[in-house]
Structure 1
């Protein structure tokens, strides 16, 4: 069974205003029509009764004259337009017109008048509404009837119905428009909060909601800004703490590295087991130094203190420089052209690319190639390795700090390489993700804005990795 999606807030507010306005307009239109119809019918009926009594008096006076026939009397009376006169005397019906006869007089009215009481009723003549008035004439042993077709009243009621229907429809449309306006006003603060939150998440931590004079929103605005202030302060404390710890570790690390270097120069004087221990310490110190460098770089990226001049450069040239600088001159760079240019901090992005290359060598059985593409207003760099690939379930987690994919956690690496890649790319308004290479290995995809279609550097387009690979 297909599940019905609930209405959104704006649609719900608009629908409520529309339905409310339609219901009120319909009730008002029906009530107005009922009152108007009753009033017009009553007025028309009273006018018909007054006219019928006047005409009945003329007919009675005429019938009192000796030697005058009923037809002559009816012919002498001039009723209003649309009215027809009939007289029932004895067993015969007399009419001033051939259009209306005794059959057009309702039986209920004939019975009432025959009992000696004047009466009035509504009927239809040739499909048209009409009012019939009957007046007994006992002085001349006759019954007088006047049937008046009320076409003008029907047209008036039709005009009233049309006007009220148009009023109800216009009111419903007005209610819908009012609902749209009210829904926009209602969700405007939510859009402001969502937009501010998105800018903060995108790399603008100093963004705040503007102050408001609305007393109903002042509390929300103040609470949101206070929350963001507290969050930013906590993040800054963590960043400073990480930077301070990394910096404080520099001195003892430098001392250890110098000491190990001295021991390495007198390596031949040490026993074999001591040499093995020295090699182990040397490798771990090297790993420790790289981890410390990565931590410092991450701290600088998060605190925004790494801002350096960005220059426009060819993406293929940037990849080639990173390959040559890391001793990978035999790895090919395919694609790229004059249009595939990016405006970046060459040192930062070059280091990020080297981290991807190191990741491919350590965990992907070797770097295969780098491909540069121009896709719309973005420049894409594809880094392929020769490994078995990365399971889809782990492609996003590997961009986390110190994450280890699969059973390769024991392989060398600081566990921060891909985190640095993601932070660097994000700082340049780009994205990074991991997918499967056509050759079967892992493919890391870095997308950066083209230099002729740049977004603001601090827009912080989230480097949301849709997958991952093993961390460098």
Structure 2
């Protein structure tokens, strides 16, 4: 499975992580406890079985009173070990879950239906059985057995002497294995129940923990949506209650700060609007006077004429700035409205260029008869600002392309200059922003592109810019009404 697939399988929510963590801890604890309990029970059960069987074998061997001897150490009667003696030992040690193999020299005797032979017994166990009673658990043909081995001892004159009779007892451990299997099943069932309980407790705990978090998330979204009066009730005194109280304090401080900023912004807009309107009246009179002066500038002395032309230029720039400020205040106050009409886009663009004397500087590519519903005055403002910006800061040729798309009208303005610096692109439509700090004061008010973008958005459209290499391309898109 790929790393992408593994990442998709990983829980991303806090609820899922809490439930999984809680469940994993519970399962690990259950497995650990069950393993320890199983091992303790298993060891104790096998220890008791081994102790009981070894004790039983030892007791039986100690009670054997047959005249058992060897050829080199006979009883006073001269008797030696017979097959009857071996059979007697086998019968004495035999039991339902016990099989016995007795070996004397080359003779071997075993319980009925026994398939065991001494050769099946590990060599090290046979060697140890020569000197003492030993036992070991073995898996024979897939069945667990306890193998007990020893050499029969006989007592002569108060002392025990080993004989050549080797006794090996095979005790089946199937009953113990069944008991352990039942124990494993019981532990598995208990573990399943524990897992279900742990999952339920984890879900309840996650719900109780995440409920305040979800409330905080919803409140934060409301706060981001502008509902600054959003507050949450504080319950308890834990960390989540402290977080909720902190959220309420932050929301209150944010509401106060935003209220103050809105008040200052309103005052600032009102001030700009008032000043702009107050400046319009003297500017009208000054413009009328400068029109007269500009006509006489050529007949005035050179220095006086130059001064007159400078005054006319600055008054014209001030007039444009005031008009832009007034337009901006209307857009900010929400009083700007659209007055749409069916407009021939080619004619509107040609008139915009002709009115400003740009017809010979701009190449216009518009399909014949392209008509669209828009506000002609605001469309003129948008295009005048875009073309004026291209002529001032770009390089010829400046090209306007207009076309009708399936989703609306698209108009692009492109120049072939050096383009806009990459760091300035995000700020092109900011108010009073100029990409070059050293640009002269007469090169625009710094509001033209911001006004153009606001008028585009008033049409529910967009105005974007990107470098076209060479030059920059501004794209206006207005959707169908």
**Coarse TM-score class (shorter-chain normalised):** 0.5 to 0.7
Given the superposition, is the C-alpha separation of residues 310 and 64 from structure 1 closer, same or farther in structure 2, using an over 3 Å criterion?
farther
Shift of 1:121: 4.6
Output the TM-score relative to the length of structure 2: 0.65
Distance in 1 separating the partners of 2:211 and 2:345: 47
Given the superposition, is the C-alpha separation of residues 397 and 275 from structure 1 closer, same or farther in structure 2, using an over 3 Å criterion?
same
> Which residue of the partner structure matches residue 465 of structure 1?
none
Given the superposition, is the C-alpha separation of residues 192 and 68 from structure 1 closer, same or farther in structure 2, using an over 3 Å criterion?
same
**Counterpart of 2:440 in 1: which secondary structure?**
helix
> Which residue of the partner structure matches residue 382 of structure 2?
352
Shift of 1:400: 3.5
Given the superposition, is the C-alpha separation of residues 323 and 52 from structure 1 closer, same or farther in structure 2, using an over 3 Å criterion?
farther
Match of 1:152 among 175, 178, 184: 178
**Counterpart of 1:399 in 2: which secondary structure?**
coil
Match of 1:334 among 366, 369, 374: 366
1:422 paired to 2:453: yes
> Which residue of the partner structure matches residue 99 of structure 2?
85
Distance in 1 separating the partners of 2:214 and 2:440: 48
Contact 1:113 1:136 in 2 (8 A): yes
Distance in 2 separating the partners of 1:355 and 1:252: 25
Given the superposition, is the C-alpha separation of residues 28 and 45 from structure 1 closer, same or farther in structure 2, using an over 3 Å criterion?
same
1:238 paired to 2:268: yes
**Counterpart of 2:366 in 1: which secondary structure?**
strand
Given the superposition, is the C-alpha separation of residues 269 and 57 from structure 1 closer, same or farther in structure 2, using an over 3 Å criterion?
closer
Q: Deviations over 1:325-354 (max 9, x none)?
A: 45267852436999x967x65543441222
Contact 2:345 2:372 in 1 (8 A): no
> Which residue of the partner structure matches residue 48 of structure 2?
46
Match of 1:282 among 312, 317, 321: 312
**Counterpart of 1:122 in 2: which secondary structure?**
strand
Listed as ranges, the gaps of 5+ residues in structure 1 are 1-6, 200-205, 453-472
1:95 paired to 2:110: yes
Distance in 1 separating the partners of 2:123 and 2:179: 20
Contact 1:63 1:73 in 2 (8 A): no
Output the TM-score relative to the length of structure 1: 0.66
Given the superposition, is the C-alpha separation of residues 68 and 90 from structure 1 closer, same or farther in structure 2, using an over 3 Å criterion?
closer
Structure index of larger Rg: 2
Q: Deviations over 1:434-467 (max 9, x none)?
A: 33447x433212344x337xxxxxxxxxxxxxxx
Distance in 2 separating the partners of 1:180 and 1:158: 32
> Which residue of the partner structure matches residue 480 of structure 2?
451
1:216-365 superposed matches below 5 A: 216=244, 217-261=247-291, 273-306=303-336, 308-309=337-338, 311=340, 317-318=344-345, 320-327=347-354, 331-334=363-366, 347-365=377-395
Shift of 1:211: 3.3
**Counterpart of 1:213 in 2: which secondary structure?**
coil
Shift of 1:245: 2.6
1:413 paired to 2:437: no
Contact 1:212 1:221 in 2 (8 A): no
Given the superposition, is the C-alpha separation of residues 361 and 50 from structure 1 closer, same or farther in structure 2, using an over 3 Å criterion?
same
> Which residue of the partner structure matches residue 398 of structure 2?
368
Q: Deviations over 1:42-62 (max 9, x none)?
A: 235535655777798899999
How many residues were matched structurally? 426
Shift of 1:12: 9.8
Mean Cα deviation higher: 30-39 or 88-97: 88-97
Q: Deviations over 1:392-416 (max 9, x none)?
A: 4544444343344446535542232
RMSD after superposition: 5.4
